[in-house]
Structure 1
Amino acid sequence: MGGGDQKVRIWNMKSVSKDNQNDDSNQTFLATMRDHFGSVNCVRWAKHGRYLASESDDQAILIRERKAGSSTSEFGSGEPADIENWKVIMTLGGILQTWVDLSWSPDDSTLASGRLDNTVHIWSMTNGICTAILRGHSSLVKGVAWDPIGSFIASQSDDKTVIIRCTIDWSLAHKTEGHWSKSVCYVSCNFVINLLFPCLTCLFFHP
């Protein structure tokens, strides 16, 4: 969980069931990460669970990996000591780059990030290099999502469009416009976009 205090926190929720979900004693605190210098807006797990990506108002995307052993708590914070040890292994982004959403590819080799400048950036997790910048929206990108097998990536924007691209060459597969109307759109690449609300704030592919 990310928050306005510039921190990312992790809890173990395995012991939380329907009957005891309101019992705090069943929620084990695992770690606090303090590497951002602005409010944390988005946190995304890699599919294999080894990496954790977060983006913040400090205009950085941080990639963390769990290391062996435990970490220490911040002196005077009053927070419990960390059980898990998470370290930053990669920093993506740069000056004047404000990110809105993050999405891992199914094989965790690539991270997509939506920006306020109407673009989607594609990052290689091998070296942290931006390998592609996807344009086509006329307003800020509010959501990005990969399909479950990694053949397509979708982005949705404040310009009321959803763009689906083929990941093999980032070519346009489909663009849906005017999703303020109540309708269902069948896309040629065999995906269905449900357009039921005045504006989209979140985007996911169905498994």
Structure 2
Amino acid sequence: MGIIAKLLGKAPQEETARVGGMEDFMTLIRVYYQAVMAMQMGISNLAVLPDLRIFKQTLHVPTVNNKLGIGERKRCRTMLMDVYGMEDNFFKEIDASIKRNCRNVNDIKNYLLMFQGFSQDLMMLMGNLMQWKFRMPSMFHKALRGMTAKTIHQIMTKNDWRDDNVRRTCVNIRQYQMRLGYSEAWMTEYVHRIVLLAKKEPKPKDVDEKK
């Protein structure tokens, strides 16, 4: 079983279709967030960071300099860069966002809930606004990235939306963005990567045929 599939506890027969998939990506993103929190706030209790605990124990990541988070952050960052091609600035913005918003353990839950709301609203609205563009073949990923960047810029700047629900969601996303501090470039990278991974996910019909 591969490293990422093992981390997620997937059965061997699922590995080929799922290693490096969207679920793996989101799990590693959560691990990275929790590793940075542990490192920046000096957290030593793994019970408050469940994804980090599983990652550390499953991959046997050693604790560096008796401080939780340093080795785990490096290992997770390397995996995200090697498997998904994430760039250095992507991680720098996460580090800065956590430093800005999390000063003690009590801030962790609120921050993660805020990021979850931000991510859900952003992906839902992007799917609503782009629709057919998200169905473009993966070979046109550069064009799709450009369209993604343009749509995100509209979300952050355009005010004359005809649909009230779209306008309200844009306001919510902008409020999240102000708190979290992520740039449009970061949002583009995040959405674009998830969309490309979603395209590679096996369709229900394909899974049934394999069974």
Larger RCO of the pair (alpha carbons < 8 Å, separation 6+):
2
The structure whose residues are more often strand, as a share, is: 1
Please, what TM-score do these two structures have when normalized by structure 1?
0.24
Please, what TM-score do these two structures have when normalized by structure 2?
0.23
The structure whose residues are more often helix, as a share, is: 2
